[in-house]
Structures are given as C-alpha cells and as structure tokens.
Amino acid sequence: MTTILKQTFFEAVILVLVSVVLCLLVTMLRPGSPGFWHRAPETDQPSEQPAASRVITLALALQRFDDGKTLFADARSPEDYAAGHVPGALSLPLYQFDEWIAEFLAANDPETPIVTYCGGANCDLARELAERLATLGFETVFYFEEGWGPWQAQGLPGATGPEQP
C-alpha cells in the first residue's frame, strides 16, 4: 500500500510542477506581457500611476533640467533652498503648502512638466509634494528621489541664495 501512496504522491508533484511551468510559459509568451525576468526600460513618461511611483533617476532629472522645459520644485525649507538648489528651481516648501499654492496654481499650467526634489533618498517631502501637485491636476509630475545631495555631489549646476521673484 505504501508503494501506491508514494507513486500517487510522486505523480501529484510532477503534475503540479508541469502546471506551474506551463503557467509561467503562457504568461511569458502572452502578447503584451513583459515576462518575469524583463525589466521595463527606464522612462520619464507620465503614467496613470500616483506621482510617488513616477520616480526618476539623476540621469533623467539632468536630462529634464537640460531640456529647459521642466519646472524644478524644491520641497525643502527656504533656508535649505538658499544654501543650495537646482538653478531656476522654485522654493515650494511642503510645510508652507497652503501659503504658496494659490499663487503657484495661478502662475503655472497643469501641463507644465515638474520635477520635485528635496535633500535625498531619506526625505519624503518631494514625494508628498509630487502627490499633492498630481492630485491638483498637474499631469506631468516626477519625483527625483535622489535629491539635492547627489545632484550637488556629482558637481551638477547649482545656485545659492533666496528665490528671486
């Protein structure tokens, strides 16, 4: 009797393994499926995802900076902004959101591409700012997670002083 149980168990295991392999193959070969081992190409195109998931790298942030069409928004305090920031970036401190948002909305088109940033990867201010701007209708908001620290460490363009009107 134990031989029959062993054989049944072995056949069940084989059946499960074959099913899993077939499922994986069907999923990988299905049109439009990226497969399990394919990493999506890095892009800075907006998506239907929340702004927090629209993270861009230093290279893409620099590309956006160089194109001159993207508004950079520094979510840090005015003091941190004055100590160093991306040239041309607006100082939009998240903790003062209610103080500046009306003027910002009046001055900027919702189709304006925006890159938010703060101090670095351990700072959530830029992510939160990106989410708020996206909920207010800004269609192309990106979150530069690496932030000002790595930007500055790479010797990329920087400016100091308070925001100019």
Is the CA virtual torsion 137, 98, 86, 149 positive or negative?
A: negative
Tokens of 53: 């998931």
118 an active-site residue? yes
- What DSSP assignment string belongs to 123-138? --HHHHHHHHHHHTT-
Please tell me which residue in 89, 92, 115, 118 is annotated as part of the active site. 118
Tokens of 89: 């970036």
Number of C-beta neighbours around residue 42 at 10 A: 9
Active site residues: 118
